[in-house]
Structures are given as C-alpha cells and as structure tokens.
Structure 1
Amino acid sequence: MSHDIERYLNVRRARGASFGPNGDRVGFLLDTTGVPQVWSLAGPGAWPDQHTVFEERVTFVSWSPERHEFVFGMDEGGNERAQLHRYDLASGEVTNLTATPEAKHRWGGWSHDGDRFAFTSNRRDASVFDVYVQGRDDVGDGAEPVYEGDGWLTVGGFSPDDSSLLVSEAYSNVDQDVYVLDVDTGELTRLTPHEGTVRFRSAEWGPDGESVYLVSDRESNTLDLWRVTVADGTFSLVASDPEWGIDGVAVDDESGRVVYTTNVDGYTELAVGDLDGDTIDPLPTPDLPRGIAGGVAFDPDGDRFAVTVTRRGSPANVYVVNATTGAAERWTRASTVGIPSESFIQPELIHYPTFDGRDIPAFFSVPDDDTGHGETPVIVDIHGGPESQRRPSFAAVTQYFLANGYAVFEPNVRGSAGYGTAYSRLDDVENRMDAVADVEAGVAWLREHPAVDSDRIVAMGGSYGGFVVLAAMTEYPDVWAAGIDIVGIANFVTFLENTGEWRRDLREAEYGSLAEDRELLESISPLNTIEEVRAPLFVLHGANDPRVPVSEAHRLVEAARDHVPVRELIFEDEGHGLSKLENRVEAYSAVVAFLDEHVR
C-alpha cells in the first residue's frame, strides 16, 4: 500500500541526546510538532515529556552537569543566527541568555560546576568569531570576551579543572588547527602546528587535562585517532584503520572512557574502551543496529552513553549503551506514523567506473515491484557539501519515491567525505567539473541497468548538490528528463559575493577566490550556460538563506524560463533548506506533482 507524501514526511526523528545531572533522564530533540523541540524521558520506552513549544526549530540541547536545567539553541526563520536559551525544568521558564539577534552563537559547553558556559560569536565583526564565557545567571551583554579571533572559531569544551578551553579554527573544511585557551589570561597555545592542509577534528580533553584526543590525517590518507600532550605538543598514535577513517571521538573525563566511530563505506562501526595514555583497553562492541551512529553523550558516571542511530529502514532514535557490557537499549520510539517498517527499502552499495578509471561509490535502491524490464524512472539524488557524504540513513522522501515506483541513485562523487583525504580534494577549484563528470558516468551506469528507463532520469540535489544538478543539466543536457534544484548555487561569483561574511573565506578555500579565480568561477557557473538546459526545471529556495542567497534562485529562474518549463517555489520563513513540516509538505507535494507532469 502506498501512502501520500505527507504521511512519509510525518515520520519522526529523535536525536541529539544529553543526560541530566543525575543520569536518570535523557533530553533529546524530537520533531513531533513539525520542527525539532526539546523532549526528555526517564527510561527506555517511557512516555516522553515535551519542554519547548516553539514554531522555530531547536538546534541542540545540553543539560547542566549540576542543575535541573538545560541550554538550547534556536534561530529564526532559518537565518542561522542562533541564540542560546536556558530552560528551568521546575518552572518551565525560558531565559534568552545571549539576546543578540543580529549575531550567530555557537555553543561551547558547560563548566563542570554548571556555573558558566562558553560559546563563540560574531558579535564584534560579522566575518569572524570571538570566544566568550558567560555565567548561567547573566543575560545578553553579560558575556565576557576571553579571546578575539580573526577567523572561524569553535569551542570544544572546558578542561577538567575548568581553567582552559579547547578552541578549533577552521581555514577550510579540510584544514584546521586546535588550540588551548587559558580562560583567565586569554593566552592561546596552538597544539597542531602544520604546513599545507591537514584536518584536526573532534578534539576532546583527556581525563587528566594534560592531553587532548583528536582525529587527524596528519600522517595518512584517512583520519586516525591521536593523543597530543598539552605541555609539549607531542603526538602519539592511538588508533587507526588502514582503509577507513575514524570520524569522531568522545571522551569522558570522569571515567577515562572513550568511544570512537569509524566510517566504513558509509556505515558506522563503533568502538568503546578505557583510556590508558596512548592505548585503549577495549570493551565489548555495542549491540546496536547496523547503520549510522553519532552524537555520543556520557552519563555523569561514564558507565553508560547515549547515541543516535539511524538506518535506511528506521528513522533516527536514541539508544543508551552500557559501556562495560555493550548492551544497548532503544530509549526513544520515533513514530513511523503507521507505515510498516518492513516496507522501507534498503539500498545496495555499488561502485561504478568514471572517466579517469576510478570507481565511484553509490547507493542504489529500486522499488519492490520493479520488473527488471527497463520500466523504472530514476532520481539521481546528489548530496551537498561538497565535503559531505550520502550515507544509508533514513530519508522519508526517498522512501516515498521508492513506494511510488521511482528508483533512487545516490552517488558519492569525488570531493565527498568518507573515502580519504585525496578523494575529498579531487574536485578542488579547477577540478570542480570533474565531480559533474562523475554524475554523468553514473547515468551511463544506470542506462545499462536492466531496471532503468533511460529516458526518465531525473537530477535532484540541494545546496552544492543543487549546483551539480544545474551543471549536469548544462554540460550533459540530453540525459535528463527533469531537474530539481533545492537552495542551489547558480553562479559562484554572485554566491561568494553575497554569502554570509563568516563563510566566505571557508568557501573560497574550496571553490576558488574572487580575487584570483573569478574567470574560472564564471566559466563553471551554470547560470552562464543556462541556455543549454533542455529539461523542465523546478527551483526551491528559502528567502532567509544566509549561505546561498535567494537571489541565486531568482536569477536562475529568470534566465531559464524562456526556453524550458520552470517552476519556482520560495518559502519566506525558511533558510538554507526546509525545516518546518508544513513547508516540507508543500515543497515535496509540489515536487511530486512536477515529476508526475514531466516524468511519470
């Protein structure tokens, strides 16, 4: 039985867990009301309590380590200028702690006594982030600036004695540094000096505060787990995988316990152990479903940890794992709104050849009723980033398409994360269009597949994926039956000129700079060759998008409407993507109608 798109979009997600101070309650985000709000529960399968009731999305929840209160983040209309709020569990009172709506605020964690918290913000200068520490009772301008930055800074948490903060600085998505910041003196010490581009990510304080654990590709093509001694900057290798990258680490400074995750061809393998300097004494592998796991949060004693798990056959839910035994219990019950879980289709992981002899990984799903006689239309769904990765997590829209006779092809073209540093850099600057050629090679593979109707292949993607859609439609116009561009880049020059000031340097490191690469950027911008498009085009965008301004959509539609059928749909209360349920229902109902008209 097929359900309408609204039913699929109402499938819920529970994620982003945080333990309360007694370890007897877990807070998390749940989108039952249409946008993520803060809920909590006291045990596996217990009836959850809803705490926040806003029309805007909540972006995270972090429980105080000592009090029955938590901090949550919330922006307005998708503008990404998140404010930090404190929620008192006893009274339900909400206090806006930052109250600077023109600025972004990036959460940096509680002090261990729960009296202070840290964050970064671009209050002083819209293009850079400074580090602030604020008392829990202080509001608005009560924050103390402890370091003035000159780039993209993120706080990684207080040291065990609360005297220092971990600070990360990103120069690009593949080049970062990690520092220790003395809160009292403002002295900043770099732990990760390097030449060239090196990733240093997921930094966590060691239990004694004398070392830091992080993942880095400093000596290999993949991310390894390293320990850095704070006093002298000595690096020691802790764990590595010869083929796959370790993509995250969480350390509990009370118990000395560590959890780290490895990305194995899109799936998560999770390891647990007790730290002993440069070594880990392994504990049993958690008994979790195979899928994508992340967002690890320890309980106050470090004996258990919460983790979010999602897979193509099941929406995101929070599990709690006993660290010493590996036993796992699912605490949340995100509803599938009556759609049987067994009807959700699992993808096949395939690899197809591209123009330079490489194999490109992709997930390919076909409807249950496929006959294998070339009758099935296909949606080529291209992820954004570009330093992102399509992984087999639950996707409501994907399941709807599959239930209604469309196959779905999800390539991880060059530039994607998860396949090593060299692969992630293959699309940089002058090599941008090689990623688009990878998409065309995927279409060639599809055309040889016995299930596929080669005259009904659709390109769909969001953000950078929207650029790839537009570029594929201009470079290879005859292979597409239709295109769907969601908050995509139409012209790299106008995109970089108009994107948020805090993002421009990061994006120029990936795409090329306006000062040095303007001619290249113009040459690869789909808007400048839009007359090549032959297929109907649907453009969706949020009016408040701070990353890819809505002007990109308007210029694109104006240029394309003279020679192909074009539909434009703008949401006045959304930003870079669609967060509100009613907007997602309207958007994807319109996408379904568009495909029914031009493809089915």
Structure 2
Amino acid sequence: MVNQTYSFERYLNVRTAFGPHFSPDGRTLSFLTNITGVAEVWRVPLEGQTLTPFWPDQLTFRGERVMGATYSPHTDELLVSGDIGGNEQAQLFLLQADGSSFNQLTTNLEAMHLFGGWSPDGQSITYSSNERDARYFDVYELEMASGKSRKLLQQDGTNYVNGYSPDGSQLLVSRWDSNTRNQLFLVELASGSVRALTPDIVADERGVIYQSVAWSSDRRGLYLLSNRDRQFHALAYLDLTSLDFQYLREDSWDVELLAVTKDGKTLAMALNEDGYSTLEIFDVSHGWESRQMLVAPTLPRGVIYEMVWSEDGTQLALSYATADDALDIWIWNLQTGTIKRATQSSRGGIPRSAFVTPTLVRYPSFDGREIPAFLYQPRDQQQKVPVVINVHGGPEGQSRPLFDPVTQYFVAQGYAVLAPNVRGSTGYGYEYQSLDDVRLRMDSVADLQHAALWLRESGIADSERIAVMGGSYGGFMVLSAITTYPDLWAAAVDIVGIANFVTFLENTGPWRRKLRESEYGSLEQDREFLEKISPIRSVDRITAPLFVIHGANDPRVPVGEAEQVVAALRKRQVPVEYLRFEDEGHGLIKRSNRLQAYPAIARFLQHYLASPSKESPTIE
C-alpha cells in the first residue's frame, strides 16, 4: 500500500484549545480556540458530559486575537483581554457568558492593560497598565458597576499585579527588574501602603524569580515557586508575618506550574523533567507538614501547559499536549478520580498515526558539554535525509515535545527535524540558563554549529542539505549561524528575528528594553560588543539562501530588523525571499497568514534542499 502524505494546509488546520476557566458553579468551561482562524472565546458544558464532548458555543467574534478570558467568581460574566493586529496593546472587555453582550472597558488604544484578577466579591477587577508612561507599568483597580478606575500603585518599574488577597483587602504585586529577576509586594487597598515580601533586588546579582504565588489555607502564608539559592525552581513557603522563606521540597528538575484551590486546601504542581511534565497533587488543608499525596491522573507522556482549579476545588483543568496530538483541555475530577477530555481539537483530517514522536538525544558541543535536543525522524529512516534545525525563541525558553504542525509536515515529507536546547535554555538549571549571557552570546551559536556536525557524523543528515530555522531570538540564532558558520547551511529561515542588537534595543517596546538588557547587554556599557556580534555586521558572509518573515506591528522585534538584512542581501544578490504581514506582530497568529507563509517556506526549502521526490500521493 502506498503511504499517503497531506498538504501543508491540512497540517495548519490542526486546531488547539487552551486558556481554560470554570464558571462559578463548575458546570461550564470557557476556553480559547483557533477554530475560526484566530483565538476566540468558546464554552462547553461539563455537567453530565459523556465520553463524547459536547459541541462548544462560540462567544466572541472579534476576528482578532483574544489573549485571555476569566469568569467572574459569582456571575455569568467573563473578563476578556485582546489586542489588534498582534500589536500587544491589550484591551479589557466584559463578556456575558451567553455571548449576548461584549463591552470594552479600557479605551486607551496606545497602552497595554494586563488583567490581574477579579476581586473576591466580583465587584472590581485589577490590572497593570503602562498608560502613564510607556516604559513603566502601574497598578489599577476598576469598579465594574461604575466603570471607573483608580490608580493603586505608581512606580517607575514593571509592576504586574497577581490578584487580590482572599479577603479582598490587599493586592499581590510582582515587580520585575529583568526577565530573570523580580520582587514581591503586598499593597493595601485602603491605605495604599506597600510592603515588600522578598529582599530588595540588587543590581548585578544572580537572577531570582518568585512566581505562581498562592495563599495557604490558614491565610498566614504563601505557596510559591522560586530559584532563590537554587539551580532549579522549587516549591517554597513564605510566612507573611515573619517573612521567613523555606523550601518545602528538593527536586532535581524545575517545578514549573503551581495551582492551589481557592480555599488553599489542595495543591497541584507540575515538574519539567527533561522537557516532559509530571503532575503531583496534595491535600494541604492542614499545612504542608501534614500533607497527603493524592492520586494524580495518568496521561500519556507530554506537556502540561496550564492548570486551573474550579471555584469549589473539585475539578482541575489541564491544557495538555503530546508531540503527536493537538493541545487540548482535560478535566480531572478529584471526587470521582476520573479524567476526561473537555475539548476535541480537529487534527485537520490527518490520522494521529501519521504523526511522529521525537527521541530525546544529547550531542557534544565545543567544550564537551552535552546539549539536549528532540530529534524527529521519518518513520523507518534508512538513509541520510535533509534536516531542519529548528531553534526556539527566548532565549529563556525551551523546546518541548509539544505538537507542532510545521515539524510534523516536514517529517512527513522526508526531512528530519532537530529541536535543540542550546545553552541559555530554561529547564536545565540556572547555571545552564546563564551560559549565554551577554559576552557568552556566541557560545550558544557554536552549539548550533555542533548540532550540524553531529547530525552529519551520526549519519542522520545529508551534509549538503542542512537548514536552520527559528523565530524571535531563534531568528537571531539563525542569522548568526549563517554569518558565523556560513559553509554549514544549505538554506535558512528567519521569523521575526534580531539582525542588529543596537537598533533592536533602540526600537523595541520601551517597557521591554530594561528587561532584556541583563540578558543581552546594555547600549551604554556593551555597545561595541553588541555591534560586533550583530549579524548585520557580517552580512557579507552569508551564502545560504534566506527566507525572512516579519509582522509590521511587532512591538518586540521591530520590522526594521528584517528589512535591514533583506536589503543587504538583495544588494549583494544573495537569494532572499521576504514576506511582510501588515496585520501581524511578533509571529504569525492568524491562520490565513500562516497558510500563506508556511507553504511558501516549504517550497523554498524543497527548492534548496532538493529532497528526493516521493511516490506517495498528497491529499489536499
């Protein structure tokens, strides 16, 4: 029997469901899905659900990205956030849960409004915004009945609100000095007084993060995740009276997700073990010392993306995916001990058996360090094949065994795909994450060189047909790889990447520059070095054909980064293709644009990697 292959369009029509939130009575689940081509709010009933999920109802019809939706604690209303054209200038909306009304609450379209949570009585919401000064985020409260907002905290920094205290009298605020360093505060609503809960941030100290903060059942302390004095993020407890901080567990991997029920009695945590998630659930109603471990649901090996409890703490929603199946929402019921799928995202008409799962590999780099990577190979690979090295963004990020339609398409077409976690990636400890900071930047690019060498020496790759592809910081890695090691690559794809660190830092959103300087270096102290390592300075070394994609509204890596390198290559008559999308920002969100861009990438790589033709028919 001849094996069937499917068009790229079919792969890009695989849907996803994420962003779950329970209605106050726990009978309905809201979520986000891109069924219509962009993320909108939908809902599905849970009560009485059988093995076959109910068909969901669509609640929003913006035609633009919805970024989040959260039920009121007492009424059938949702607080929705969304932007326009990928510009990240998030606005807040109030949505009736039957979809009958959808009213905008914020009006400054030039500012970001980041939702922080509903008050316990449902009468107010809190959010952070940079409307006073684009560089800084202050904290606000908005009264739902009157629509009036008031500023609760003004400070020239990045202040993100994490929600109300259980009695509604305080706000928990996280102030970020960089992407790897923050401090926690409590703000009294009545007096406006601010109390620091964690030590002051000291410049040039190692990064310490406090995140996923939740109140204990006796309300005397906070559960949280931190890497303070640790390589990995671990579960900790902060006493609110003495401010004593203690770790509750020692783990050799990051605890990356923490969700505690509203009453503080049940705690769920997910560990990131070499990229895969492990879930543990505890009864902590009498404190951690008297905890009881509960039986957690058994799931195929994959990644838990989000965890959310129902109001009564009896149901846990998981956004969950495997490498060979779409991101969907599962519901774990603690009372019955059962788990069921609440959403069933379409696989584009492609059977699950057509998708492949990766092998976790490690390859040696220039200093003998072993670099972890996920290797996707065609089934029953018998010979050397063309390979795409797909580099994640961040750099504080990690390639995970999540479903990726682009990877699955390329493997079905006979390519292998390697997704490396080069030094600087998260998930492997603070030391590993710091190995690419500032002056060590090019060491991570050397890890890409050694990925290509390992693929050749291992007999996996045809040495003349290796391409490198990446987005955001991964786009910088692509451009840096083809300028630093030009002879290794048959082709390259840069999606919203950095070409020039100087112009990037000068033009990135003003709220982001300070957060990124601890990672990349500052223009005041490191300009000469940043100029030296910027790919645009070595563009004359590029020989590999390049495909460039960028969104005109990108606030993170402005579109000028793409246009610098495209203009330089066209001047030298190096093959370069460029797609600019006027209604996109930092990456491609809308399916219509993805359907244009990714098949074009496939044609580009097919041309320059010239993989052997197949006898298998393509199913449209």
1:86 is aligned to 2:94: yes
Aligned to 1:598: 608
1:536 is aligned to 2:548: no
Question: What residue identity is the alignment partner of 1:388?
Answer: G
* Alpha-carbon separation, structure 2, partners of 1:573 and 1:208: 49
* Alpha-carbon separation, structure 2, partners of 1:21 and 1:369: 50
Indicate the SS of the match to 2:5: coil
Aligned to 1:209: 219
1:349 is aligned to 2:360: yes
After superposition, residues 114-513 of structure 1 pair within 5 angstroms as: 114-139=122-147, 142-193=148-199, 195=202, 196=205, 197-241=207-251, 243-254=252-263, 256-275=265-284, 276-279=286-289, 280-323=291-334, 326-368=337-379, 370-371=381-382, 373-374=383-384, 376-513=385-522
C-alpha distance after superposition, 1:396-447 (max 9, x if no partner) = 1111111111110000001101000111011000000000001111111100
Contact kept? 1:485, 1:538, Cα under 8 Å: yes
Indicate the SS of the match to 1:569: strand
* Alpha-carbon separation, structure 2, partners of 1:264 and 1:2: 33
Aligned to 1:26: 29
* Alpha-carbon separation, structure 1, partners of 2:247 and 2:292: 15
Contact kept? 2:12, 2:348, Cα under 8 Å: no
Give the deviation of 1:325 after TM superposition.
Answer: 5.8
Query: Share of identical aligned residues, percent?
Result: 46
TM-score, normalising length: structure 2: 0.94
Indicate the SS of the match to 1:239: coil
Give the deviation of 1:517 after TM superposition.
Answer: 0.3
C-alpha distance after superposition, 1:267-316 (max 9, x if no partner) = 01111111233433211122223211132111121011111001111101
Residue in structure 2 matching 1:98, options 100, 103, 106:
106
* Alpha-carbon separation, structure 1, partners of 2:121 and 2:471: 42
* Alpha-carbon separation, structure 2, partners of 1:426 and 1:596: 35
Indicate the SS of the match to 2:440: helix
* Alpha-carbon separation, structure 1, partners of 2:105 and 2:503: 35
Contact kept? 1:223, 1:240, Cα under 8 Å: no
Give the deviation of 1:450 after TM superposition.
Answer: 2.4
Aligned to 2:583: 573
Question: What residue identity is the alignment partner of 1:571?
Answer: F
Deviates more, 1:36-45 or 1:391-400: 36-45
Aligned to 2:20: 17
C-alpha distance after superposition, 1:234-255 (max 9, x if no partner) = 11222231x2111121111325
Question: What residue identity is the alignment partner of 2:170?
Answer: S
Deviates more, 1:361-370 or 1:519-528: 361-370
* Alpha-carbon separation, structure 2, partners of 1:380 and 1:323: 42
* Alpha-carbon separation, structure 1, partners of 2:527 and 2:345: 47
Aligned to 1:6: 9
Deviates more, 1:149-158 or 1:527-536: 149-158
* Alpha-carbon separation, structure 1, partners of 2:343 and 2:9: 22
Instruction: Sort the Cα spacing of 1:325 and 1:351 in 2 relative to 1 into closer, same or farther, 3 A.
Output: farther
Indicate the SS of the match to 2:114: strand
* Alpha-carbon separation, structure 1, partners of 2:98 and 2:528: 59
Give the deviation of 1:91 after TM superposition.
Answer: 5.9
Residue in structure 1 matching 2:83, options 59, 75, 78:
75
Contact kept? 1:77, 1:574, Cα under 8 Å: yes
Give the deviation of 1:369 after TM superposition.
Answer: 5.0
Give the deviation of 1:179 after TM superposition.
Answer: 1.2
Aligned to 1:40: 43
Aligned to 2:530: 521
| Structure 1: 5+ residue stretches without partners | none
Give the deviation of 1:324 after TM superposition.
Answer: 5.2
Contact kept? 2:24, 2:76, Cα under 8 Å: yes
Instruction: Sort the Cα spacing of 1:219 and 1:324 in 2 relative to 1 into closer, same or farther, 3 A.
Output: farther
Contact kept? 1:312, 1:394, Cα under 8 Å: yes
Contact kept? 1:471, 1:525, Cα under 8 Å: yes
Contact kept? 2:217, 2:287, Cα under 8 Å: no
Question: What residue identity is the alignment partner of 1:4?
Answer: S
Deviates more, 1:65-74 or 1:206-215: 206-215
* Alpha-carbon separation, structure 2, partners of 1:419 and 1:327: 32
Question: What residue identity is the alignment partner of 2:593?
Answer: N
* Alpha-carbon separation, structure 1, partners of 2:517 and 2:297: 41
Indicate the SS of the match to 1:530: helix
* Alpha-carbon separation, structure 2, partners of 1:114 and 1:81: 25
* Alpha-carbon separation, structure 1, partners of 2:6 and 2:237: 50
TM-score, normalising length: structure 1: 0.97
Question: What residue identity is the alignment partner of 2:225?
Answer: V
Indicate the SS of the match to 1:165: strand
Contact kept? 2:216, 2:264, Cα under 8 Å: no
Aligned to 1:110: 118
Question: What residue identity is the alignment partner of 1:290?
Answer: R
C-alpha distance after superposition, 1:13-39 (max 9, x if no partner) = 011100001100000001100001111
Contact kept? 2:59, 2:98, Cα under 8 Å: no
Question: What residue identity is the alignment partner of 1:22?
Answer: D
Report how many aligned residue pairs link the two structures. 595
* Alpha-carbon separation, structure 1, partners of 2:335 and 2:258: 17
* Alpha-carbon separation, structure 2, partners of 1:90 and 1:71: 13
Question: What residue identity is the alignment partner of 1:570?
Answer: R
Instruction: Sort the Cα spacing of 1:353 and 1:90 in 2 relative to 1 into closer, same or farther, 3 A.
Output: closer
Instruction: Sort the Cα spacing of 1:137 and 1:6 in 2 relative to 1 into closer, same or farther, 3 A.
Output: farther
Question: What residue identity is the alignment partner of 2:317?
Answer: A
Instruction: Sort the Cα spacing of 1:292 and 1:138 in 2 relative to 1 into closer, same or farther, 3 A.
Output: farther
Contact kept? 1:156, 1:204, Cα under 8 Å: no
Give the deviation of 1:577 after TM superposition.
Answer: 0.2
| Structure 2: 5+ residue stretches without partners | 611-620
Contact kept? 1:283, 1:325, Cα under 8 Å: no
C-alpha distance after superposition, 1:352-398 (max 9, x if no partner) = 11111111000001112522x22x10000000000000000010111
Give the deviation of 1:90 after TM superposition.
Answer: 4.3
Give the deviation of 1:534 after TM superposition.
Answer: 1.0
Question: What residue identity is the alignment partner of 2:31?
Answer: F
Question: What residue identity is the alignment partner of 1:88?
Answer: Q
Indicate the SS of the match to 1:259: strand
Instruction: Sort the Cα spacing of 1:348 and 1:136 in 2 relative to 1 into closer, same or farther, 3 A.
Output: same
